[in-house]
Amino acid sequence: MAGIIGYGAYIPRYRIKVEEIAKIWGADAPNYKRGLGLEEKSVPGPDQDTITMSVEAAKKALRRAGIDPREIGAVYVGSESHPYAVKPSGTVLAEAIGATPDVHSASFEFACKAGTEAMFVCLCQVESGRIKYGLAVGADTSQGAPGDALEYSTAAGAAAFIFGRDHVVAQVDETYSFMTDTPDFWRREYQHYPRHAGRFTGEPAYFKHIRGAAQGIMKKAGLQPKDFHYVVFHQPNGKFPLNVGRQLGFTREQIETGRLVPKLGNTYSGSSPMGLTAVLDVARPGDRILLVSYGSGAGSDAFIFTVTGRIDEVRDKAEHTRALLDGHKVYIDYGTYAKYRGKILKAE
Amino acid sequence: MANPARYWREIPQRYRLEAGKCRTCGTVFFPPRLVCAQCRSRSFETVRLSDEGTLVTYTVIRVGPSQFADQTPYAVGIVELDGGVRITAQIVDCDFEKLAVGLRLRVEFRRIQKQGEAGILCYGYKCVPA
Amino acid sequence: MRDVAVLGVGLNSKWGELWEMSLRDIFVEAALNALDDAGVDRVDSIVVGCMTSGLFVGQEHLGSLMSDYLGMNPVAATRVESACASGGAAFRQGFLEVASGAADIVLVGGVEKMTDVGGDEATYALSAASDMEYEAYHGITFPGLYALVARAHMHRFGTTREQLAHVAVKNHRHGARNPVAQYPYEITVEDVLASVMVADPLRVLDCSPITDGAAAAVLCPVETARKLSKKPVVKVLASAQASSTIALHSRKDLTWFESTAEAAQKAYRMAGKRPEDIDVAEVHDCFTIAEIVVLEALGLVERGKGGQAAASGMTALGGKIPVNTSGGLKSKGHPVGATGVAQVVEITRQLRGESGPRQVEGARVGLTQNMGGTGGSSVVHIFETV
């Protein structure tokens, strides 16, 4: 059976606290923190982008997979902040890890579920036998408009997964996708910041699709929430994954390991994939994991994984995601943040 | 500063630290060369440099060239990668006060330059504290 | 090889931001001054030293341009380039033409017009002396490269920030007596230490400026000089050049300039002189640290002790071995391609006894050292009155 044979994550070192952003806009920081279930978020340095983070996450995945990168048949990066509008992030990534030239690539886009789309397609290619190994990355350096609610949560990070049939670390038991046309959050071409429809982004968007995908996959697999050791949901803020988990019948313990958002922020296409890496860092052989992403527009991809005995051999071959999150942090102020994120620009 | 062809030509070096090792005397050159400066041999094999090293000397650039004007101040140093080859690279994710001769470093993939708002993006190696 | 003499020398009346003067105007003015000083109006060959007129003003083919504007056509004229050592390298080529018998009277001129571009473009043009793909690509600047050398020298030998400042202070004290100098005024150690940081630990006042200027010299066989000139004859005792790696990171020793040491050794041998015999020297102080390391590489001070030389007064006028009596690159200015030839102008005048308030009493043997990039090339000449 096919599945994940190597995984890795990357988080930039910089952080900004909710208080620091709230101070600038005259917002009530304690209320925001409570309402969003969020304390701080990661900020990419001025020399970092979706491509650079993908490369570092992919290198860790390669260390854990222990394969020759030349045997990778497809490299897909899912993001809503690809550095180029035309020229796939995967070309640079594939070149950097030495997977070229016998390799497929394309950029994936579906708001925050571009990463899990890339994972699904790699899985299918491996299962079909067309490729031996496939590398899928979910990465973003998401942007929120100054003063908008999203500014508190939009963060940066990457998670990379190598799929294959041999040396599997987490086999894929089932997949399912639930998608409708729902205009909750979007960005038109040439616009710098996305727009959203306020409270409409909740129940008719996030909650409906996550529930649809979770219930759909559990029905397909004949499983119930109690059959899972871990569940990882897309994490736009600290509250939504807890609420949808409660609605579906999952416990807080099942959700907590993969819920990175309170200290990380929403890494968009990296969100649920990074949560998955944090779970793999501590999961035991035999543990069953449910992963449900969400991308505005809208849809959710669901995967059911079963961890194999090989996890114990590979998990320590690269830094654990929680260690990346909690270690080496550098806090910056709003001015530095605005400069790094290009919100203030010098005159030409 | 970097037109696409000039940038692309150095990709194996910039992305993968590919160097040339003289088949006759074993000296490693980065970037690779056509003739060995030690023994004049013209036969080389491709090797990859280590991605770990030590800081040999450093400075903090406060007045930078136009390509890098928005990044100042930034640290640059000469790093001796394990195995002996030295490279010039920016040192990032490091407080300036922590810069010191002998600091252990790791190579990370970063964006080095942007050719304005419409030109190509140029990637390559920088170093972070190990 | 024939013995070669410097028959005449000349500079512009002033170096600095010469807004009214174009590249060709600047060169011609200095060249005419040298030709007048030599008492000749015809030459057999012209050698032009210039680092990068292409990047600064978009003009190449300087040999043809200068020969034309000097009214010297159809004489052979060539441009020589070796980054900041272009002037010295041009002088060496001129010397070889006369020494070999290929030409009897040669005009050598060095020039750079740096102010027709903005600061950013000037920085970029200068960075072309480094490894563009493996040094400049990463954002290192020239002050940055020399800062790397400074940090290494301070780490190994305990050279201090104050010692670096003393080099600038000394050179300004000399330059204050030089009417051509771009910055003919004194500065203090405090001024240096308070100036804006450019690349840690080097500050603005550790760095030579952006300058427009030219310098020229006329060379001929010693016998011809004796016939033509009433002035003391200054013979070129030695002319030597050496190369080192283009990138600083490829050097074996970051606290040393191998090309300078190599060229110096060849020069001393050719001249039959030792460092102790030098009465006055003009060296390449593009940055304060450069003068310190160069003095060690020239054997004028003991290894590691370069920092003390300026601070102790050893290299000041009146000291044991006066260095950069012209004010050096720091105070006189550094129109890149002109510097190497301007050093020859200063030494020639010193050896002739024409240096007025900057005169080193009884100077008979002088040395010039001109360097490209971070020491990728060095040119050393030794002169003596005969």
Give tens-digit pLDDT for C253-305.
999 999 999 999 999 999 999 999 999 999 999 999 999 999 999 999 999 99
Q: What is the pLDDT of residues C219-253, one digit of tens each?
A: 999 999 999 999 999 999 999 999 999 999 999 99
Q: Please say if the pLDDT value at position B2 is more than 70.
A: no
Q: Are residues A137 and A198 located together in one domain of the fold?
A: no
Please give the average per-residue pLDDT across A273-279, as a whole number: 98
Nearest to B65 among C139, C155, C202 (CB): C139
Q: Please say if the pLDDT value at position C146 is more than 90.
A: yes
Q: Are residues A14 and A63 located together in one domain of the fold?
A: yes
Residue A146 falls within a domain, yes or no? yes
Q: Are residues A156 and A205 located together in one domain of the fold?
A: no
The answer to whether B24 and B53 are in contact (CB under 8 A) is: no
Listed in order, strand segments (DSSP E) in A255-296 are: 288-292
Q: Please say if the pLDDT value at position B57 is more than 80.
A: yes
pTM as predicted = 0.93
- DSSP 3-state of C11: strand
Shortest CA gap C322–chain B (Å): 31
Q: Are residues A250 and A302 located together in one domain of the fold?
A: yes
Residue A314 falls within a domain, yes or no? no
Q: Please say if the pLDDT value at position A174 is more than 80.
A: yes
Please give the average per-residue pLDDT across A108-123, as a whole number: 97
Residue A347 falls within a domain, yes or no? no
For residue C283 the two structure tokens come to 């060296």
Across chain A, mean pLDDT equals 96
The two beta strands, A3-10 and A170-182, are antiparallel
Catalytic residue among C166, C172, C284, C334: C334
Say how many C-beta atoms besides its own lie within 10 A of residue C124's C-beta.
19
Residue A317 falls within a domain, yes or no? no
Whether residue C148 and residue B58 make contact (CB cut-off 8 A), yes or no, is yes
pLDDT at position C80, please?
98
Q: Please say if the pLDDT value at position B1 is more than 60.
A: no
pLDDT at position B70, please?
80
Residues of C with CB under 8 A from a CB of B: 120-121, 123-124, 127, 131, 133-141, 143-144, 147-152, 155, 196-202, 247-250, 254
Whether residue B78 and residue C148 make contact (CB cut-off 8 A), yes or no, is yes
Q: Are residues A90 and A178 located together in one domain of the fold?
A: no
Residue corresponding to tokens 């260095």: C323
Q: Are residues A153 and A213 located together in one domain of the fold?
A: no
Where residue A213 sits, what CATH number does that domain have?
3.40.47.10
Whether residue B108 and residue A56 make contact (CB cut-off 8 A), yes or no, is yes
Q: Which of C123, C145, C125 is nearest to C134 (CA)?
A: C145
Q: Are residues A140 and A263 located together in one domain of the fold?
A: no
Whether residue B15 and residue A51 make contact (CB cut-off 8 A), yes or no, is no
How many domains, in total, are found in chain A? Answer: 2
Q: Quickly list DSSP for C262-317.
A: HHHHHHHHHHT--GGG--EEE---SBHHHHHHHHHHTTSS-TT-HHHHHHTTTTST
Q: What is the pLDDT of residues C320-332, one digit of tens each?
A: 999 999 999 999 9
Q: What is the pLDDT of residues C336-379, one digit of tens each?
A: 999 999 999 999 999 999 999 999 999 999 999 999 999 999 99
Q: Please say if the pLDDT value at position A348 is more than 70.
A: no
Q: What is the pLDDT of residues C12-24, one digit of tens each?
A: 999 999 999 999 9
**Alpha carbons C269 and C261: distance in angstroms, whole number:** 12
Residues 6+ apart with CB under 8 A from C292: C153, C159, C163, C164, C167, C306, C307, C309, C310
Residue A43 falls within a domain, yes or no? yes
Residue A16 falls within a domain, yes or no? yes
Chains B & C: contacts with CB separation below 8 Å: 104
pLDDT at position A328, please?
83
The answer to whether C9 and C217 are in contact (CB under 8 A) is: yes
Q: Give the residues across from B128 on adjacent strands.
A: B106
Residue A187 falls within a domain, yes or no? yes
Identify the burial level of A322 via C-beta atoms within 10 angstroms of its C-beta, where 0-12 means exposed, 13-18 middle and 19 or more buried.
Answer: middle
Q: To which H or E segment does residue A162 belong?
A: strand A156-164
Residue A92 falls within a domain, yes or no? yes
Active-site annotation holds for C153: no
User: Which residue type does C236 have?
Assistant: V
Whether residue B16 and residue A92 make contact (CB cut-off 8 A), yes or no, is no
Give the domain extent around A278: 170-307
Q: Are residues A234 and A174 located together in one domain of the fold?
A: yes
Q: Are residues A291 and A162 located together in one domain of the fold?
A: no
What domains sit in chain C, N to C, each tagged with a CATH number? 4-118+210-228 (3.40.47.10), 140-208+236-385 (3.40.47.10)
Q: Are residues A127 and A240 located together in one domain of the fold?
A: no
**Alpha carbons C14 and C213: distance in angstroms, whole number:** 8
Q: Are residues A23 and A158 located together in one domain of the fold?
A: yes
pLDDT at position A346, please?
73
Q: What is the pLDDT of residues C150-200, one digit of tens each?
A: 999 999 999 999 999 999 999 999 999 999 999 999 999 999 999 999 999
The answer to whether A80 and A89 are in contact (CB under 8 A) is: no
Please give the average per-residue pLDDT across B61-69, as a whole number: 87
CA B51, B54, B59: angle at the middle one, nearest 5? 110
> Which residue is closest to B51 within chain A, CA to CA?
A59
Give the ipTM: 0.94
- Tell me what percent of the residues of chain A surpass a pLDDT of 70: 100
**Alpha carbons C382 and C380: distance in angstroms, whole number:** 7
User: B2: which chain C residues are within 8 Å (Cβ-Cβ)?
Assistant: 137
pLDDT at position B64, please?
87
Of A190-199, C51-60, C104-113, C208-217, which gets the smallest average pLDDT?
A190-199
Residues 6+ apart with CB under 8 A from C136: B1, B65, C127, C128, C130
Band of residue B67 on the pLDDT scale cut at 50, 70, 90: confident
Length in residues, chain B: 130
Q: Are residues A176 and A301 located together in one domain of the fold?
A: yes
Residues of A with catalytic function: 80, 112, 234
